[in-house]
Amino acid sequence: MPKRGYRRAIIRLIQDDSGVPGFLFIRGKSRKATQLLMEHLKRRGSFTRNDMGQFARDLQQGFIEEGFTYDYSSFYTRVLNRLLDCGLLEFNNRHYRPVWQPVSKRGPGGHNFYNLCFRICEQWNKYFFET
């Protein structure tokens, strides 16, 4: 049986409405870097490897948003790799693209891991693939 703290954390995440960065990251800077990446991906549709590297360098130097910097290597190891590992982004034919997540219209009930995954995929699809 899971501990109470774990169950409370899942309930809090399910009820949180901060979107995909809020579900995937605890730290504020990682959330902000993910949100900025999502905004640029939505605007452009995809990034080449060079574009992603340039985005990470600009993020490190503070060119993306005034007053916000995020380390280049931390961006790759924390943000980009987590999105790739979760299957939310794909790297195919030298491009990073958001992946449509197959979810049913009605999600699982309860406060559990399946509901959390459903919410992440639902928010991702809503952000990138609905107008």
Same domain, 91 and 104: no
The residue segments making up the domain with residue 75 are 27-98
Residue 99 pLDDT:
94
- Whether pTM > 0.85 for this model: the answer is no
Report yes or no: 98 and 80 within 8 Å, Cβ to Cβ. Answer: no
Same domain, 94 and 32: yes
Same domain, 80 and 108: no
The two tokens of residue 94 are 């030298």
Residues of the chain with pLDDT under 70: 1-18, 131
Residue 13 pLDDT:
62
Closest CA to 91 of 104, 106, 80: 80
Helices 28-44 and 113-129: angle between axes, nearest 10 degrees: 40
Question: How many whole angstroms separate alpha carbon 99 and alpha carbon 9?
Answer: 27
Same domain, 65 and 125: no
Count the domains in the chain.
2
Determine whether 119 is exposed, middle or buried from the number of CB atoms within 10 Å of its CB (0-12, 13-18, 19+): buried
CATH number for the domain that contains residue 90? 1.10.10
Same domain, 84 and 108: no
Same domain, 48 and 81: yes
Residue 58 pLDDT:
96
